[in-house]
Amino acid sequence: VVGVGVSSLSKSIDLEKWEKLLQLGLDYRRERCLGKNWAYYRAMRRGHFGLLDGYSPTLTYNLTYANGKVIVTSVYYRNPYFMCSPRGGYGRDSEIKAKVQEAYLNYLVDAINLKQTMRDAAQDAYECGTGVIKLGFDSEYGTPSSTEEHADDGGELQLNKKGTEYIEWNGNVHAGMPWALRIDPEQIITPYGIRSPEDFDWIDHVYFRPLDDVKGSSLYRLPADFSGTHIASSKFFEYRQEEMDELSTLGQYVELHEIRDRRTRQVFVYAPYGSAKKAIIRKEDSDVLQDKYGLPFVFLQWNRDSERFWCSSDIALIEAQQHEMNESRTQSMEHRKRALTKLLARQGIFPTPEEKA
C-alpha cells in the first residue's frame, strides 16, 4: 500500500529517539567493542594482509586461516541429527509420535540447510567474536500478526502483490516452514552497554532490499514519494563502500531497519530513503516471533566478556603473532636473496691496480 496510513505509523513511534539509540548502539559495537576492525580480521583470514593498514609483507604464513580451519570445523556438527523420546510415559502411541517427530525434525534440518548455517555462524564467531542466527517462519522479511488471513500452506509474502513474481528467493526459506539463517554481525545493532542477550530490550537487523521488491511487498505501507536509499552515504555500511557503490549501479536499493521492541512486543521497520527522508513503513503491534524465550536470535560466542556483549575475535588475540611471523619470514627471504647474489664478468673487464695507477 503506497501513501496510505504512513504518517500515522511514523507519528506513533518516536523516530528521533530511535535514531539516537541506533547511533549509540552502532558506536558501542564499532568503537567500544572494536567492531570497526572486523573487516581487517576477515581480510587477514583470506590472506589479504595489509589491505587496510598499509602493512604489506612479501612472504606470509597465514596463521589465522590455519587456526580457523581447525577451530571452526571442530565446533559445528558435521551431520546434525535429532533423537526424540517420549516424556511422561512410554506407551506404544507415545513412541510412534516421538519417531514421527524425530523424522520430521531431521527432514527439517536438511531442508533448511542448518548444517551450513551453523558452520557460517561458527566462522563469524571466530572472525568477529560473535555469530548470529536469526529464526523465523514462512517469510524471510516477516510474518504479519494476522496470520489467519493467509492460507495454511503460506508463501504469500514471498510473492509480489500481483502474485506474478517472487520477491524472496532465499533457498533456505520455504513456504509454511520455520527457518534459521546466518546474519552478518555487521548487520546487527544492539542497545548501548548491554552485556548479555537476555538483557536486550530491543534489537535492530539492518539490511538492503531492491526498491521494486519493497514496493511489491504487502508487508509495507510506503510514502507516495518513496525512493531508494542513497547507499553510498550509508553510515551502517561504511566498511563496504566500494561494494555498495557497485551495487547502486544495478538499480535502486532501500536500507531497512527491522527493530523488535521487547518492551512493547512490537516489530517495526524504519527506512531512511532519498537523500534525507525517513519513515516507518511497517508496524506490527504483536510480534509473533517474540515468544516467552525472547527475541528470535541465537548468538554463538566463544570469548564471553564480563562487561560487554560483543566479544573479542580470536584473530585479534593472535594478531601480533601473525604480524611477527610474516615479518620474520619476509626478512629471511630478503636476507637469502642478498646472500645468494653472484656477479659474472669477463676476465680483464675490471682494471688492475697498475692500470688504475
Residue 162 grid coordinates: 500481483
The CA distance from 128 to 69, in Å, is: 15
Average pLDDT, integer, range 229-239: 65
259: helix, strand or coil: strand
pLDDT above 60 (res 346): yes
- Angle among Cα 131, 64, 238 to the nearest 5 degrees reads 55
Cell of 183: 546474519
- Give the tens place of pLDDT for each residue, 1-31: 444 455 556 667 888 899 999 999 999 998 8
Report, as an integer, the average pLDDT of 173-180.
90
The pLDDT of residue 11 is 62
For 197-229, the pLDDT digits (tens) are: 889 999 999 998 889 999 999 889 999 899 887
Cβ atoms of residues 42 and 29 within 8 Å: no
Measured CA distances, 239 to 6, 36, 38, 39, 268 (Å): 32, 8, 9, 7, 26
For residue 105, name the pLDDT band (cuts at 50, 70, 90): very high
pLDDT band at 310 (very low <50, low <70, confident <90, very high): very high
* CA angle centred on 140, ends 103 and 8, rounded to 5°: 140
Between residues 103 and 352, the one the model is more confident about: 103
Cell numbers placing 28: 558501542
Q: How far is CA 188 from CA 17, 35, 36, 91, 265, in A?
A: 18, 11, 13, 46, 18
Task: Tell me whether residue 337 is exposed, middle or buried, using C-beta atoms within 10 angstroms of its C-beta: 0 to 12, 13 to 18, 19 or more.
Answer: exposed
Gyration radius (Cα) of the chain, Å: 27
User: What value does the mean pLDDT of the chain take?
Assistant: 84
Q: Copy the grid coordinates of residue 178.
A: 520455520
Q: How far apart are CA 23 and CA 237, in angstroms?
A: 13
Residue 76 vs residue 80, higher pLDDT: 80
Tell me the three-class secondary structure of 41-77, residue by residue.
HHHHHHCCCCCCCCCCCCCCCCHHHHHHHHHHHHHCC
pLDDT digits over 242-290, tens only?
A: 777 777 777 888 889 999 999 988 999 999 887 678 899 999 888 888 8
